[in-house]
Structure 1
Amino acid sequence: MSTPRGRRVTMVAALAENGVIGAEGNIPWHVPADFQHFKATTSGHVLIVGRTTHEGIGRPLPDRHTIVLTSNRDWRGEGVDVAHDITEALELADRVIDGREEECEVMIGGGSVVYEAALPYADVQVLSEIPVSPEGDTHYPEFDRRRWSEASREPRDGFTVVRWERTFGCGGS
């Protein structure tokens, strides 16, 4: 499933060898080059993140239209749009994209609940593989690799960027 007008939905995440993406609300490694990769990948696009992730960042990220996904119907954030489920977030992203002249994608930036909800809609996953196995309480969702093709693998300074593209258009993970 992709968004209603066929917009590309790309999940962008950094994960450890054991699938960990977080520990007690923090990222359990420090790889500055991966932060730069995230910025370069998501800049100029619509970025959907969960409330906890957004609050951990502390502000809307520059050069991105941010949509915060939260189940708290009373939550409001300065400089962001708010959605209460993934369908609403994707529909809102479509409206934002329709108002732009330049090419724009929907980027999913975490956390784990948002990744899990967005996985059936994702067309691409851009995963930074971090060569550590820390303890953690937050994991990237498992996905059926038979429905995804590894399109590229690019070693970087302290991590490897792997691009997965969906090979089956029938939904699922």
Structure 2
Amino acid sequence: MSVVLSIVVARAENGAIGVENTLPWRLSNDLQYFKQVTMGKPIIMGRKTFDSIGRPLPGRTNIVVTRNKDWRHDGVNVAHSLDEAVSLAAREQAEEVMLIGGAELYRQGLAAAQRVYLTEVKTSVQGDAFFPELDLADWRETSRESHPADEKNQYPHDFVVFERS
């Protein structure tokens, strides 16, 4: 059985996903959702995304993609391409592998991804990292859950799951 490559991303209406290697919003719901959909599954991220998190995420096999052949960090597996990272993740016998960023890996992985867990953040923000619009000819929405802004969530947002059609 082949492994499903899924993307997990929070995206503003203008496509922004990050600014200066941080998230451009405070959304407690999204952090909880991220944990829920990734827990127990291998996660693949770029080195800059890993640096922004600052540590391996517990309860998940952490795979960091970097061009630097000498880069190492305790608690993570290192890969030097997305393909190598997916191969490492497949060895975990997982049914689903989660690509969690950043922008460069999303661009590389989108063509191979079978599922996208998209948090639609209902605002436009300044950003220097972006995620493209999904071509709805290639994707079908399978679920949507809407949440208002509140004291822990800066903007209204929807959790949307897309499957490749």
Q: TM-score, normalised by structure 2?
A: 0.91
Q: Distance in 2 between matches of 1:130 and 1:18?
A: 10
Identify which of 55, 62, 80 aligns with 2:51: 55
Match of 1:96, SS state, is coil
Which runs of no fewer than 5 residues in structure 1 stay unpaired? 98-102, 168-173
Deviations 1:82-121 (A, max 9, x none): 1111110111111122xxxxx5420010000111111122
Q: Which runs of 4+ in 1 moved over 4 A?
A: none
Q: 1:66: which partner in 2? A: 62
Match of 1:150, SS state, is strand
Please state which structure has a larger fraction of its residues in helix. Answer: 1
Q: Distance in 1 between matches of 2:62 and 2:147?
A: 27
Q: After the TM superposition, which residues 83-98 of structure 1 pair with which residues of structure 2 at under 5 Å, given as runs?
A: 83-97=79-93
Q: Distance in 2 between matches of 1:77 and 1:120?
A: 29
Match for 1:135: what amino acid?
Q
Q: Distance in 1 between matches of 2:123 and 2:58?
A: 29
Identify which of 138, 142, 148 aligns with 2:139: 148
Q: 1:170: which partner in 2? A: none
Deviations 1:135-165 (A, max 9, x none): 1110013432211111111113431011110
Q: Offset of 1:44 from its aligned partner? A: 0.5
Q: TM-score, normalised by structure 1?
A: 0.87
Match of 1:110, SS state, is coil
Q: 2:113: which partner in 1? A: 122
Residues 112 and 141, structure 1, Cα contact 8 Å, conserved in 2? no
Aligned alpha-carbon RMSD (Å) = 1.2
Percent sequence identity is: 44
Q: Figure out how many residues of one structure are paired with residues of the other and give that number.
A: 158
